[in-house]
Amino acid sequence: MAGLPRKVTNMQGDDYGDTFFKRSRYVRGMLPAHRLDFNTKPDEFKACKGAGNRIPLPRDYVFEVDRFGSLLADRRSRRRFAREPMTLQELSTLLKYTSGISADQFDASGFNFRHVPSAGGLYPYETYVVANRVDGLAEGLYHYDVPSHALDLLAEGSLAPRTAAICLDQAIARQAAAVLAWTAVVPRSRWKYLQRCYRYIYMDLGHLGQNFYLVAEALRLAACTIGALYDDEGNSLLGIDGVDESLSYVGVVGRRAG
């Protein structure tokens, strides 16, 4: 069937997932001996040095839905997008309440809480944005800079076809107004949790994804998350190594059709 990924036969019968869960279990009296070295603690966020233009994001956060109960009842994966663009403020609100800090200003000398929980408060992920149709934002690839609540331009131009190809050729990644790409930054969590960090990283991404859905619902936008990805192709687009930082999760969003 057209559009389905080709089967990779050399992975059949390889129980590497089962092995990982067995080897990363915590057993009473057998916890790994590990002392935290704060001199080697990784940075809590990524700064894109030498990036292109920096676009400050607006901060007038207004939701269309106020009742939390209705958000929980109405939340669902929506895969039909209108052609109308979304606003820069809507994108800003999504970034603020998923990857952004809770406070109005970043505290360079203190601890910066965010709107989602994270094991050890390490937030082992980064956020990239592929803008397809966002008012006030040129088409292209951006990195979300947490301290400044701004977008750094990494590559300008239409990336919708390439983004869809990365998402196992799913059309919704091409039709959405914007695509949020979240990467796992392994050293940031491994510094504290060693090999068990992989469990926590994907839990943290799940927390982030739920906020993405709820905020999109509050803004009356259509949103859907995608975990089916061609890893190497996605890492190549983002310019990351696929080892210390690797594409792990995607959220597509835009104005609702109909």
At 158-191, the pLDDT tens digits run 999 999 999 999 999 999 999 999 999 999 999 9
**Structural domain includes residue 25:** no
Place of tokens 């233009």: 53
Q: Tell me which residue of 240, 88, 253 sits closest to 180, measured CA to CA.
A: 253
How distant, in Å, are the alpha carbons of 20, 29, 196, 203 from that of 25? 9, 12, 8, 15
Please report which helix (H) or strand (E) contains residue 166, including its range.
Answer: helix 160-166
Domain membership of residue 121 (yes or no) is yes
Copy the structure tokens of residue 227.
């975990």
Q: Which two tokens stand for residue 143?
A: 């990195």
* C-alpha dihedral sign at 30, 190, 92, 209: negative
> Average pLDDT of 231-256?
95
> Has residue 49 been placed in a domain?
no
- Indicate whether 38 belongs to any domain: no
**Domain CATH number, residue 239:** 3.40.109.10
Poorest-pLDDT segment among 78-87, 176-185, 201-210: 78-87
- Type of residue at 217: E
Strands (E), the chain: 54-56, 125-131, 140-145, 150-156, 178-185, 221-226, 245-255
Residues 219, 64 contacting (CB under 8 angstroms): yes
Q: Is residue 42 part of a domain?
A: no
Task: Give the count of alpha carbons within 13 A of 258, CB side only.
Answer: 4
The count of domains in the chain is 1
Domain that holds residue 149: 57-104+113-255
pLDDT of residue 5: 46
> Is residue 2 very low, low, confident or very high in pLDDT (cuts 50, 70, 90)?
very low
16-20, 54-58, 129-133, 211-215, range with the lowest pLDDT? 16-20
Domain assignment of residue 238, yes or no: yes
pLDDT digits (tens, 9 = 90+) for 148-158: 999 999 999 99
Instruction: Note the pLDDT tens digit of each residue in 91-103.
Output: 999 999 999 988 8
Is pLDDT above 90 for 204?
A: yes
CA distances (Å), 103 to each of 110, 115, 147, in order?
Answer: 12, 9, 11
With respect to residue 166, please indicate whether it lies within any of the assigned structural domains: yes
Rounded to whole angstroms, the Cα distance separating 55 from 37 reads 36
